[in-house]
Structure 1
Amino acid sequence: MSRVIRKVFRKIIFSLLIVVGMLVVSSIIVTYLYKDRLINHFIREANKSLNTPVDVGRMDVSALAHFPRISLLMYDVKIKDSFPGHENDLLSAERMDFTFNPFSALFGDITIDEVSLTNAVCQLKTSRSGDINYLIFKAPSDSVKSERVRLDLSQIHLSDVRFQYDNARTEVLVAVRSSELSASLSAFGPAYDIAANGQVHIDSIISGKWEMARAIDLSLQTRLAYNDSIKLVDIQEAELITLNKPFSLNGFYAFLDTPEIDIHAASEDFNVESVIALLPKASTGTLQQYVSEGNVHFDLGLKGKWEDNKGPALSIKFGMKNSTIRHGGTGMTLDDVSLSGLLAMKDVLNSHSASLELPSVAGKLNRAPFTGALSWQDFLDPFLQLSFNGDLDVESMLKFYPVKGIRSGRGTILANINFEGKPEQLKYKKFINRVKTSGELALNAIYLDFTEIGPGLRNLNGGLRFSNNDLALSDVSGKFGRSDFLLNGYFKNVIAYLLFEDEPVGVDARLKSNLIDLDELLSLQDSENNDSYSFGISKRLRVLFDCEIDRLNFRRFHPTNIRGDLKIREQIAFTDRLSFTNMGGKMQLSGMADASKKKLVRISTNFKLDHIAVDSIFYVFENFDQNFLEDRHLKGNIDATVDAEMILSDQLKLYPETLRSHITATIRNGELNNFEPMQKLAPYLDEGELRHLRFSELANDIVIRDKTIYLPKMEVGSNVTDIVISGTHTFDQKINYSVQAPLQSKKRRDSDEAFGAIEEDASGRAMLFLKIVGTTSDYYVNYDKENVKKKISQDLKKEADELKTIFKNKGKEQETLELKEDEYFDWDDDGKGNKN
């Protein structure tokens, strides 16, 4: 029996081998004996059905590519579109395979039942007039019955194929790629049944100005019908998967005359990251870092017509319950999250019609509960109703939602905030009362470390109270680096400032501080010895400050007991009553710093010095960047009135050519010690030494302009002799001084040598005229024989008088720039603080 079975089995195997052999032989015979005939026959019959040109780089016939069927292989294929002129490609492909039965092909009947497309681009277009570019097939006729090339596509394979649908009439753009997709198509006249299974990447779906989707990877299994006569796509059923989370899709899209859509998508087992994956990456930003545990459900409907200026309605119901949302980078979670919401748009082309409702949001951050609600009407001109109540741990909050520029933080914020109104109305004074903001923030031991700013914010405490558009500060104290502060007052327009990039903020407050370290604050770096500053005043800042600062550090300038005011508007800072103690005396300052020009700071100031140590002035101002006359040479106390204007860089470096100043100064109990030019004068004045000169009082007007210091005629009565001095000293250290001193009788100068340099004054004393000329590093002393002494004195006095008049008028101009306090925070109708 077993022998019989083996014989039968062998016969069956032998018969199968004969059949396979016949298939191979028939395929080879068809391929090699009828290759040219098959190609010519296919081209001839295909051209009967096509309206548009087809370019093929190379064609071949293979028996093995899709064995046991015959494959017609086409390389570098380009099919032109149906628009007039056929200038653009409807389809371009690296390779197209058409597969058919080899036995039928022997009798000239080619029925294509499988198509493969590799590395191809298909561009479907609809013009503004409604014409389409894919009418490539001729209309059916009686000749159809005689066609010997027919399509019966039970299998379609797409590999690396890109599709783009561009409807200029409805402003809809769809771009899709398929790495690997299999489909089947059955045709019944103008109707097609299509089934597809595979991987799809949606590059973008854009409707008008609204981007509906971007960069989405999907696995799909779908069955749909397409009716070409009425241009209707009917999605009968579809299951799509993104990030391993499935959702269903069904509905239709018709685009014969006025396109119409009715699509419904839903899932009961979704998550946050899957929702984010379906949104455009450009709009999700950092949200892509979040993952969730627990189910997210949604129900989406898109229904209506795509008209010229109106789109369909969108409705998305969504929610989650007892879920966890985790930041993928830090691991911080929101626990026990529950919410339900509705996103609706009556017209997807009109963001004015959009609304978002979150009637109840609850959860826990680091075991601390919070609740909130949100209603957002009109996405272009938003009307918001927002509430939040919770005890927030700063460290946990920053780990869950990292803020750019903040490295870490700790402390707690007790928040109870309510907002209702249109944020846009906060820009205009006449609408501001329509916005209602209320609530409080209690700050407790807040610490913040910043990534780009060295000093951290330390021990921030106090209360913040919202009152419509303003924020009241109650005993808000803290430290920023080495500086400390205590603030009481108001931040005006603060809500608009936080919501809009171009909105100003007003500060009307009283500042108290034990120490303000400007070296650290201006450098904004950890290094205490860094001399790089970047000074600027924000366009958005309006300030009315009363200051009480015990100490301030700026380079060698260390004033104490600082009292006064500061006003800022339009990038211009004013002060008119700033006083402080420094350098052994007191100073009073008024003036203006204008930082409205890029990288420049214009200074205009007036200050008074009361009993200030002269040597300390030279020390604090680093000897004014010269080594000719230094703090070690000087002693005494100065009373002075100084008017000055200058332009600095944003790093507070002076542009010397811009400095103009008029100084009225009196120095009492002064000393000039070890000053080298005086030593060189000694031989001419018959004095043994002029090393230590002491004088009881010295008064003069000094002028600075055009990079030159002008010293008018000044009489110095010292312990050694009486000297009259005048002259100029340039910023590049060129000096030209005239010196007049009495000639002692005990020793006569050579009459020829001193001829023209000796004159008698009104009292009959012989006066010797000398000059000091050269540079501070290379100068000489000689007789001044030129008869210009009176002229020099008159010219210098004229310079002083002219500059004094200029500064007097400048003070009047500054007064016109000042605003009354009640005008400082007057946001005018254009929202920028400018008069209409």
Structure 2
Amino acid sequence: MSKKEKLPKKKKSFIRRLFKWTGITILFLIIAIILIPIIFKDEIKELVLKEVSKSLKADVTIEDFDLTFLSTFPNVTIQLYDTKVTGRTEFKGVELANIKTIEAHVGLWDVIGGDEIEIDEVHISDAKFDVRVDPAGKANYDIVIPEDEKPVADQGPSKFKMSLKEYSLNNIQLVFDDQASDMYANIKNLNHTGEGDLTADIIDFETSTKIDEVTLEMDGLSYLSKVKTDADVNLLMEFKEDDSKFTLKDNSFALNNFHMSLDGFYQMLKDHSQMDLKLNTKEISFKDLLSLVPSFYQSGYESMIAKGDLKMNGEVKGRMDDKNMPGWDFGLNVKNASIRYPALPGSINNIIVDAGSKFAGGSNLDLMTLDVTKFHSEFVGNLIDANLKLRNPMTDPLIDSKLKAKVNLATLGKVMPLAEGESYKGKLNADVALNGRMSAIETEQYEKFNAQGLIELFDFLYKSKDLNEDVNVKDLTFRFSPQNLSLEKMNARMGKSDFAMNGKIDNYLGYLFGKKKEDQLLKGVFAFNSNNLDLDQLMGASTAPSAATTSAEPAPVDPNTEPLLIPDNIDFDLNTNIQKLHYNGIDVNNIKGNVNMKEEVASLNGLSMNTMGGTVGLRGSYSSKDHNKPAIDLGYNLKEIDIQEITTHFLTIEKLAPVAKYAKGKFSSSLNLKGDLTKALEPVYNSLTGDGDLFTNLVTVSGFEPLKKLGESLNMDKLSNQTFKDVKAFFSFADGKVTMKKPLKIKMSGIDTEITGSTAFTQEIDYKMLMQVPKSMIPAGIIKVAEQGLAKVNGLVPKLNIGSIPDIIPVNALVGGTVMKPVIKTDFKEALLKATGNLKNTIQDKGKELVNKAKDSVRTVVKEKVEEVKKDLIAEKNKIMADAEKEADKVRAEAKKGGDQLRAEADKQCNDAMTAAGSNPLKKKAAEIACKEGKKKADNSITKLEQEANTKADNIIVKAKEKADAVK
């Protein structure tokens, strides 16, 4: 072979080529995995927000958004962070949902080019849901816009399709408040998972649920209280065109220590439903049942020895449609039961419970029965017996019930654990019997309804660490009749306080068993009398103003907090006569008046009292008809009230009239005011409307920043501290402001002044002051220079004869900025020049040029001299005051630092006590009381520290001011 001949090219092996292209492919996939989320992230976020905005009548915000498929390839993971859904209409501002993380898994090719994105997994973590239904039945979760109400461009199916195979809820907090149905639920720390192909026609669906606490209330009754819940439920779900059936397979439910399971099915057909469900409680004991009773489960449950025969059954079976209900049979039977705590000498014996409810099914719910045939217990010589029979509940309820009890309350501690420091004394006797039909009550045929009985309490004494004082009821008599419940007498004492009460409640049977809402109105009339009522002692309050009272800002409000609600089915009158009351450091005497509660409105009628050095008359109402936004309509008449006392004890006064904090004296005032309140019952200031007036014979004001700034602007220090006589002010409220209805005419250091303007509740001020300033009050140096200027002009033009400065010079002052940082503008210079006369109109045309020159000369000389004199004086005074302010601020800062340390230590002790208490409610309550007492002591120390610092700082400022005033 010659050298010129080419050798054949050796082919690379298949393995090498395979590795090469495999490597390239993997590299490409890695790059795609990194780039695709970046490329499509914004597009998907915009798609999510667009779909949400066109589908919901609520505001949705998403703080952050992420897209990845590194961990879920070939699916894409969409992650939404800090998502909030907030009401837009009736529930404006209410957060329906606040979700920390939402994670959804979707197909990769759906994201890249599909017209529809299928979601096959959803996981929600760290979320709070606030679900509400108002009294009219409107729900804040009803936020999906119906298809026919959407704009034409937004109609049609959503780009997102649910095809779930797995979902989870982790660390969920849920509050459900249905005011239309009088149902409330609070679920804490819910963790739930579900697995199964929800797109299939037959699904094996597996769920697991764990909840730390469940509280459930309906119609004013508590059914579950902080119950720990575990549930594992497996369902066989079968879906056909007009037939969906759910069959319970392996399942278990645990409520605290109460374990049960359900067997059967629930089937949805075209026009009705069928069900057959049975409760299985074969393995539970009497002690397990007691775990559902808070007083047993939350106090010494583990050591409690409970014995007895227990039978419990439950079954729901039959048809349910628009007219029919399925039948049911529930029963509870306890015999030969007892409860004993090893550490206590006594026990609760011979416990018998025989109760149940039955209904055969169908449309006539009047055939339903409810029976508590027997409820009986004995302990340490005490006896409790009760029964209840209810028939025809829908048409004409027949009630047959008895209650007998004879209890020496001092023996309770022998059979049940009591909290540390808790004890009872006294005797309770009860013998009540009810028998008859509601129709007899409705037609006022009381002789056909037997309702009689008596509840008596003698020498009752209750002690507890949770209470600041012992409760001592000398005697109490409560009598039953068909017409009413009568509190014949109650005489009680608590600490320094005494009170007596009597009255009656009408229509209590209609309230309990009435069929129609109008039949359920509960009426009552009570009289409350007290010689001395010390609420500060009863509530453990400090005699000094609390931090909440003196703070410039209200404490933050829990979003789940409900305002004080007045029930819509009561009509109560309370007539009050209190000789002496002490509250929040205020002494109030001779309180008389009436409080009425009706149709969700509480009204004050003719309430009068003596307090704060004068007399107070109140009238008005508080309405909770709008449960999210209570309203007030109030009025008062005050006579000779001490300004400092009312400002110290009522934060609102400082908002309405900031000058009051710096004033001393007495005043009289009347006011009419309407507006809304927050959930914490703080005024919504922008909603306030009304008007009022204020009169005072003599009031002094010192340290008020706007007056200080006005004095500096006019070089008249005496304006800083004022004594006003015979002040008459008329004002109105609107748009978040207090506005002068009429010009306020006053004398300020002998200066006749007329004031108009307004103060915003946010402390911005906008006032105009017209001041008639006497020539004698203007600094002598300025007047002398001005007169020398006039003499010079007259010397230049002898025949001009301008004249002298008048005795009164009108000066306008505009006061803006805020109360603490006012901005003052005056026309003092212009007014002084104008006071010399109108030169232009007093001269001949031939002297115009000379006169203009003379005017300029006067203006220049006066202005320069005024500025020179003011500048020197102000500079020296400012230095004195600035040095004093620095020293005062240092004193206050040291006091604040000390206060912060005291507050931090109190908070730490509180947190340590709450942690140590754990979930034990009694220890937790004790910890709360200790917290309250510790914070109260800290607040007292802080207040004292701040007062001492303020006094020291004020003295520094006063001495500096005296020194500055001496500068002439």
Query: Normalising to structure 1: TM-score of the pair?
Result: 0.50
User: Which of the pair has more CA radius of gyration?
Assistant: 1
Q: 1:506 to 1:402 in 2, by over 3 A?
A: farther
Counterpart code for 1:783:
D
Q: 1:417 to 1:673 in 2, by over 3 A?
A: same
Q: 1:440 to 1:212 in 2, by over 3 A?
A: farther
1:216 aligns with 2:245: no
Counterpart code for 1:726:
T
Matched with 1:438 is: 452
User: Which SS does the other structure have where 1:610 is aligned?
Assistant: strand
Counterpart code for 1:715:
K
1:601 aligns with 2:643: no
Counterpart pick for 1:383 among 363, 388, 398: 398
User: Which SS does the other structure have where 1:537 is aligned?
Assistant: coil
Counterpart pick for 1:737 among 768, 771, 778: 768
Q: Deviations over 1:124-145 (max 9, x none)?
A: xxxxxxxxxxxxxxxxxxxxxx
Matched with 1:41 is: none
Q: How far, CA to CA, are the matches of 2:453 and 2:709 in structure 1?
A: 76
CA contact (8 A) 1:327 1:333 kept: yes
Q: Deviations over 1:202-227 (max 9, x none)?
A: 7336899997741234xxxxxxxxxx
Q: 1:691 to 1:617 in 2, by over 3 A?
A: same
CA contact (8 A) 2:773 2:809 kept: yes
Task: Give the number of the structure whose residues are more often strand, by fraction.
Answer: 1
User: Which SS does the other structure have where 1:615 is aligned?
Assistant: helix
Q: How far, CA to CA, are the matches of 1:401 and 1:378 in structure 2?
A: 39
Q: 1:216 to 1:546 in 2, by over 3 A?
A: closer
Q: Deviations over 1:613-639 (max 9, x none)?
A: 233333333484469955563222212
Counterpart code for 1:694:
T
Q: How many residues align?
A: 532
Task: Give the number of the structure whose residues are more often helix, by fraction.
Answer: 2
Q: How far, CA to CA, are the matches of 1:690 and 1:163 in structure 2?
A: 83
CA contact (8 A) 2:581 2:588 kept: yes
Counterpart pick for 1:539 among 551, 567, 572: 567
Q: How far, CA to CA, are the matches of 2:590 and 2:703 in structure 1?
A: 35
Q: How far, CA to CA, are the matches of 1:362 and 1:519 in structure 2?
A: 40
Matched with 1:264 is: none
CA contact (8 A) 1:693 1:720 kept: no
Measure how far apart 1:565 and its partner are. 0.9
Measure how far apart 1:664 and its partner are. 2.0
Matched with 1:417 is: 432
Matched with 1:640 is: 669
User: Which SS does the other structure have where 1:559 is aligned?
Assistant: strand
Matched with 1:772 is: 814
Q: How far, CA to CA, are the matches of 1:272 and 1:367 in structure 2?
A: 23
CA contact (8 A) 1:645 1:659 kept: yes
Q: How far, CA to CA, are the matches of 1:500 and 1:395 in structure 2?
A: 38
Q: Deviations over 1:52-95 (max 9, x none)?
A: xxxxxxxxxxxxxxxxxxxxxxxxxxxxxxxxxxxxxxxxxxxx
CA contact (8 A) 1:319 1:338 kept: yes
Measure how far apart 1:582 and its partner are. 1.7
Matched with 1:16 is: none
Q: 1:535 to 1:294 in 2, by over 3 A?
A: closer
1:658 aligns with 2:687: yes
Q: Deviations over 1:693-719 (max 9, x none)?
A: 334312121223222222332222466
Measure how far apart 1:347 and its partner are. 4.1
Alignment of 1:29-428 (within 5 A): 203-204=262-263, 213-217=278-282, 323-326=336-339, 333-336=347-350, 347=360, 352-353=366-367, 355=369, 363-378=377-392, 382-394=397-409, 411-422=426-437
Counterpart code for 1:574:
S
User: Which SS does the other structure have where 2:646 is aligned?
Assistant: helix
Q: How far, CA to CA, are the matches of 2:265 and 2:295 in structure 1?
A: 19
Q: How far, CA to CA, are the matches of 1:646 and 1:311 in structure 2?
A: 50
Q: Deviations over 1:525-554 (max 9, x none)?
A: xx9867768741332443211112345556
Q: How far, CA to CA, are the matches of 2:251 and 2:607 in structure 1?
A: 72
Q: What's the % identity of the aligned pairs?
A: 14
Q: How far, CA to CA, are the matches of 2:735 and 2:286 in structure 1?
A: 68
1:512 aligns with 2:529: yes
Q: How far, CA to CA, are the matches of 2:744 and 2:713 in structure 1?
A: 19
Matched with 2:219 is: none
Q: Deviations over 1:433-485 (max 9, x none)?
A: 8654221111235467899x977982244111112252211332446899764
CA contact (8 A) 2:338 2:348 kept: yes
Q: How far, CA to CA, are the matches of 1:561 and 1:209 in structure 2?
A: 67
Matched with 1:715 is: 745
Q: How far, CA to CA, are the matches of 2:524 and 2:417 in structure 1?
A: 27
Counterpart pick for 2:755 among 725, 749, 772: 725
Alignment of 1:422-821 (within 5 A): 422=437, 435-446=449-460, 458-460=471-473, 461-468=475-482, 470-478=484-492, 485-495=499-509, 497=511, 505-513=522-530, 514-515=532-533, 517=535, 535-540=563-568, 541-552=570-581, 555=584, 558-622=587-651, 624-625=653-654, 629-631=658-660, 633-682=662-711, 689-711=718-740, 712-717=742-747, 720-731=750-761, 732-745=763-776, 766-775=808-817, 776=819, 777-783=821-827
Counterpart code for 2:595:
L
Q: 1:408 to 1:384 in 2, by over 3 A?
A: farther
Q: How far, CA to CA, are the matches of 1:619 and 1:499 in structure 2?
A: 49
List runs of 5+ in structure 1 lacking aligned partners. 1-161, 180-200, 218-241, 244-270, 756-763, 787-836
Q: 1:740 to 1:389 in 2, by over 3 A?
A: same
Q: 1:481 to 1:352 in 2, by over 3 A?
A: farther
Q: 1:604 to 1:311 in 2, by over 3 A?
A: closer
Q: Deviations over 1:375-396 (max 9, x none)?
A: 4435767522112222124576
Counterpart code for 1:662:
D
Matched with 1:91 is: none
Is the deviation greater in 407-416 or in 634-643? 407-416
CA contact (8 A) 2:743 2:754 kept: yes
Is the deviation greater in 670-679 or in 383-392? 670-679
CA contact (8 A) 2:654 2:660 kept: no
Q: Deviations over 1:571-619 (max 9, x none)?
A: 2111230111122111111111122222433222221111112333333
Q: How far, CA to CA, are the matches of 1:631 and 1:491 in structure 2?
A: 45
Q: 1:345 to 1:401 in 2, by over 3 A?
A: farther
Measure how far apart 1:740 and its partner are. 1.7
User: Which SS does the other structure have where 1:780 is aligned?
Assistant: strand
CA contact (8 A) 2:653 2:660 kept: no
Q: How far, CA to CA, are the matches of 1:312 and 1:696 in structure 2?
A: 82
User: Which SS does the other structure have where 1:653 is aligned?
Assistant: coil
Measure how far apart 1:418 and its partner are. 0.7
Q: 1:400 to 1:529 in 2, by over 3 A?
A: farther
Measure how far apart 1:725 and its partner are. 2.7
Measure how far apart 1:729 and its partner are. 2.5
Q: 1:456 to 1:565 in 2, by over 3 A?
A: same
Q: How far, CA to CA, are the matches of 1:595 and 1:313 in structure 2?
A: 39
Counterpart code for 1:769:
V
Measure how far apart 1:326 and its partner are. 2.7
User: Which SS does the other structure have where 1:439 is aligned?
Assistant: strand
Counterpart code for 2:767:
N
